[in-house]
A and B are shown apart, each in its own frame.
Chain A
Amino acid sequence: MSKKRTPSAKGRRSRQKSKPSRLGRFLRWLFKLGLVLTVIAAAGLVYLDAQVRSKFEGKRWAVPAKVYARPLELYPGQSIAMDELKQELKTLNYRFVRRADQPGAVEWASSRARIYSRGFDFPDEVEPSRNMLLSFSGGRLQSIKSSDGRSLPLVRLEPMLIGGIYPKSNEDRDLIKLEEAPPHLAQALVTVEDRAFYDHWGVSPKGIARAMWVNIREGRFVQGGSTLTQQLIKNFYLTSDRTLSRKLLELPMAMLLELHYDKDEILEAYLNEVYLGQSGSRSIHGFGLASQYYFARPVQELELHQVALLAGMVKGPSWYDPRRNPDRAMERRNLVLKMLFEQGHISRDEYDQARRQTLGVVKQRSLHKGAFPAYLDLVKRKLREEYRDEDLSSEGLRVFTSLDPLVQTRAEAALETGIGRLEKRYGKRAKELEASMVVTDPQTGEVMALIGGRDNRYTGFNRALDALRPIGSLVKPAVYLAALEQGYTLATPLEDEPLSVKMPDGSVWQPQNFDRRSHGVIPLHRSLALSYNQSTARLGMNVGLDNVIDMLHRLGAERDLKAYPSLLLGAQALSPLELASVYQTIAANGFRMPLRVIRRVTDAEGEELSRYPFTLKQQVKPELVHLLQYALQEVAREGTARSVYSVLPDNLNVGGKTGTSNDQRDSWFAGFAGDRLAVVWLGRDDNSQLPFTGSGGALRVWTEFMRRESPEPFLATRPAGVEYVWIDEATGLRSDRRCEGSRQLPFLTGTAPSEKVDCGLDNPVRRSLDWFRNWFD
């Protein structure tokens, strides 16, 4: 109780004391208010401080995943034309100069090239920047010498950035470190934007005063008093509307930022945050990306005049846009150079030389070229099987794909040439053609190029993945392989005669040959090479639909296949990519490899997140596939695809199959050489009839592609367990090389027919005559 009384007494006393002074009461009130405000302000500061620190220390930017093409490997003995290397270097934005004395530069001569590579931090190891001399002869790279004269066995160029996976805000960045920035960048920024940067505490009263003075003198607003730190805060934490509250928050936050972080950290954040332009819907933030956007080279390779231009543009990226307002940009750039000179950062010579340069801005194009939409689409679909969208668009992942830009370019050019010729030949009847194409390496299962439609820049309907079209005779190899597996041989006689199959719904299936004729008894390999329908249908019915379907699945078809007899002639629809997978297994001796587009995914620091290793599974005995490969080579030598050798070198030994769907709505070719496999589809989106077949259309494009590609020849190594036997072509009986009408065919050892034709070899008289004749030969 007593305690309670004490304060009240005290209070009474104090009330008595203060009663006379009204001022004192006011002061007291003011003091209390001050205290409350201080507490609120302190709380606010603590809150701001937490904000400042969490953003600065956490993930500062949403960095889109970067998608890279395959790096070009260079090694002595490699078959690569100088032109191909040149193209690769050009798309990597190397500069062709007289003296390659810095990374990103090339000296080009008739049979030699000096490349100063940029180096790249690959997930497996760092490829250093190298100054190397490459010598070529006969379409091959002969040697790679380092600058100290050593022979290098293998080097990699940096991979081309082919795209990114952007968040909805469409922000894009190419993060750089302060030490990567070119020499004068930081100086230029500080000189132009905030001379007192290294001295102030985040805000610069001197700077504000000077700005005010300049503005008053000029009679208009020419200079803002914001420090770099304030500008960073503004972009980083605050909305862009110019309100007083924002301005009031800016000052304490800038000071807090300075309190926690050193100048270099702040400057580095600034370099990556600052807004420097707009590419369509995508805003260009940071000097890393701006350097690519305006000069098509990494920021490390910028020259003084380019650095000055970028630093000058900070003030007004659209006002000083060098593409739209080159004069203004030039004036601004030279002003920056002048300031740098006056501040003593550059010498008179450097100043004079830089001032004389043109702006040096590259022609505008969309960033990352956007040149491979179909391939990127496939990459994204694969990524989405494993990663969340927000991770892809913000975590700065690096995705290494197997896209080969050289192959892609050749595929696109072949398609254009091929279709151009078709349009010329068929006129109106060939209008509105659509196309798609898949190119893989049959040895590794990697997808090297993908075309989703004739407009290669258009990210629309991806026909290579999504267009399901009846595959026509492309199905036949599966039918014949299933037959070979059941014990048929290449020499087994088949009957190419009409047949009717009663369908469950009461209708009757009566397949016709393309030429509307039946061809009687023919050996199995011939039936495939000439793509006869009636013999194939009969064969397939005997082999059993289930077995054919099973074979298609084993080879690589993934969807459900309906057991209709018409399947045997390709009524089933598959996507070009799926077909590539089927033919891939055939080209790879019966080993099925999942088609790969991604080699590896790493996080922003280069730590591996996923890898997609080389995997394979034997689906069909290599011996049987060898027999099929023979027949598919025959398709190209003597069958429906024999036009290829009027263009391609004779030793290429390509194998493949033409396909035409019912009523000629789809034109297909799938085929392979040693290290390239390509599936080509031509048709129309409205599914109307074409004026050409598979051989007349898709095959022409395929041939043109292989001509440009000049791949390795296909080598069908003969497996143990296969023997070549001379067979009489007409009857399929065993024959001899000395008998008319014979050819060699491969058989599983012991399965060749034993019955022989008689060309007198067993007749002792003729044999001795033969011996006699040989004596004199």
Chain B
Amino acid sequence: MKKICLMLAAAALVTGCAGPNPYRAPVEDRGQDYEPAKEPVTQPGTVVPAETSPGVTVQPVTRVPVVREQRDPEAASQPVEIQSSQPVVSQPQSPAVIALLETARTDSGKGDLRMAQSRLERALRIAPRDPEVYIQLADVQRRQGQFLQAEQVALKGVSVAAGQSGALKRLWQLIAEIRQEGGNAQGAKEARDKAAAY
């Protein structure tokens, strides 16, 4: 019981320390990628939060260190599975996907882009986590002049390819190409930089 009291007190103190507004999150400026948090805006004419919390909010003057017992690190169980920081080993491609990708390549080589697209969508249903499918599909859409879609498909490819540097490099190169052809020179440069990082 004493421990719990201590913990609660510590928790209250620490949150109190966060600043005048305990609900505001600490924000780190991450450059242009992320917008810094805005001040909470009150909707004009709609609602005004009115605190009725009867509890006394403690504003400590000094920080109190939070103390914890040590434990055996092996005992630290993770309730939610943590995605390892190791590169995800890509699944070996099934013969079905290989066959579809190959015929799609032949189709697009012959200029039959619609046919290639149908095959790649079939492949996508079978192997939606295979970056290669996204690379080819985005490339077919690029050749059809659908630059916006092509870029989005390639970006989805980036999101499934997390940890696979080879695929990521090719995806960003492709995105650079798509943006370049679509007239977005600045975006193309950014993509090339990302590709170079892999």
* Interface residues of A, Cβ cutoff 8 Å to B: 73, 75-78, 123-124, 151, 153-154, 441, 443-444, 446, 483, 485-489, 492-495, 497-504, 509-510, 520-521, 538-539, 541-546, 563-565, 588-591, 599, 608, 611, 613-618, 621-622, 630, 633-634, 637-638, 651, 653, 675, 715-720, 723-724, 728, 730-733, 735, 737-744, 748, 750-751, 753, 755, 757-761, 766, 770
Contact = CB atoms under 8 A, between A and B. Distances in A.
A500 B52 contact: yes
A485 B30 CA distance: 12
Contacts of B51: 499
A498 B53 contact: yes
Nearest to A73: B126
Interface string B141-155: 000000001001101
Closest 10 CB pairs of A and B: A443-B128, A75-B96, A487-B37, A487-B27, A717-B162, A488-B25, A153-B95, A718-B83, A154-B96, A759-B68
8 contacts: A76-B94, A501-B49, A520-B12, A599-B121, A614-B124, A724-B82, A757-B65, A757-B67
Given A542-B23, A543-B40, A744-B78, A738 B73 contact: yes
Contacts of B99: 153-154
B170 interface: no
Interface residues of B, number: 83
A75 B94 contact: yes
A506 B137 CA distance: 56
Given A75-B95, A638-B80, 10 more contacts: A486-B35, A487-B27, A509-B47, A543-B40, A591-B152, A622-B158, A718-B85, A723-B85, A741-B68, A748-B34
Interface in B63-109: 65-73, 76, 78-85, 88, 94-96, 98-100
Contact of B50 (A446, A501, A546, A748): A501
B71 A758 contact: no
Interface of B: 7-8, 10-12, 14-15, 18, 21-28, 30, 34-38, 40-41, 43, 45-53, 55, 65-73, 76, 78-85, 88, 94-96, 98-100, 114-115, 117-119, 121-122, 124-126, 128-129, 137, 149, 152-153, 155-156, 158-160, 162-163
- Max chain B C-beta neighbours (<10 A), residue from A486, A497, A621: A486
A539 B25 CA distance: 10
Given A618-B155, A731-B10, A76 B49 contact: no
A742 B76 contact: yes
Contacts of A766: 70
Given A493-B22, A637-B79, A718-B83, A154 B67 contact: no
Contacts of B153: 614, 616
A719 B159 contact: yes
Contact of B152 (A616, A630, A638, A720): A616
Contacts of B124: 443-444, 614
Contacts of A510: 52
A633 B80 contact: yes
A487 B25 contact: yes
A283 to B, nearest CB: 36
B78 to A, nearest CB: 6
A12 B33 CA distance: 112
Contacts of A588: 156
B68 A742 contact: yes
Contact of B95 (A77, A497, A743): A77
Contacts of B66: 728, 731, 733, 757-758
B52 A546 contact: no
A486 B79 contact: no
A614 B76 contact: no
A545 B43 contact: yes
Contacts of B158: 622
A590 B67 CA distance: 38
Contacts of A493: 11, 14-15, 18, 22
Contacts, number: 258
A520 B8 contact: yes
A146 to B, nearest CB: 14
B117 A613 contact: yes
Contact of A737 (B24, B40, B73, B156): B73
A608 B152 CA distance: 25
A589 B76 contact: no
B162 A738 contact: no
A545 B47 CA distance: 10
A720 B162 contact: yes
A591 B124 CA distance: 15
A546 B30 contact: no
A753 B28 CA distance: 10
Contact of A498 (B24, B52, B88): B52
Contacts of B163: 717-718
Given A487-B27, A614-B137, A716 B96 contact: no
A370 B129 CA distance: 35
Contacts of B95: 75-77, 151, 153-154
A591 to B, nearest CB: 5
A563 to B, nearest CB: 6
B49 A740 contact: no
A508 B107 CA distance: 64
B125 to A, nearest CB: 6
B14 A76 contact: no
Contact of A77 (B15, B94, B159): B94
Nearest to A494: B23
B52 to A, nearest CB: 5
A13 B128 CA distance: 101
Contact of A538 (B18, B35, B49): B49
A501 B47 contact: yes
B25 A502 contact: no
Contacts of B94: 75-78, 153
A145 B96 CA distance: 14
B68 A504 contact: no
Given A73-B96, A153-B96, A444-B125, A545 B46 contact: yes
B125 A730 contact: no
Contacts of A589: 156, 159-160
B40 A541 contact: yes
Contacts of A488: 25, 37
B155 to A, nearest CB: 6
A564 B12 CA distance: 31
Nearest to A590: B159
Contacts of B81: 633, 651, 653
Contacts of A760: 70
Contacts of A441: 125, 128
Nearest to B79: A637
Contacts of A651: 81
A320 B71 CA distance: 85
Contacts of A742: 68, 76
B137 A499 contact: no
A486 B38 contact: yes
B129 to A, nearest CB: 7
B149 to A, nearest CB: 6
B16 to A, nearest CB: 9
A637 B79 CA distance: 6
Contacts of A614: 121, 124, 137, 153
B122 to A, nearest CB: 7
Contacts of A151: 95
A76 B38 CA distance: 53
Given A73-B125, A633-B80, A730-B7, A563 B68 contact: no
B36 A487 contact: yes
Contacts of B53: 495, 497-499
A521 B9 CA distance: 10
Contacts of B40: 541-544
Nearest to B8: A520
Contacts of A599: 121
A446 B124 CA distance: 12
A748 B118 contact: no
A504 B48 contact: no
B22 A739 contact: no
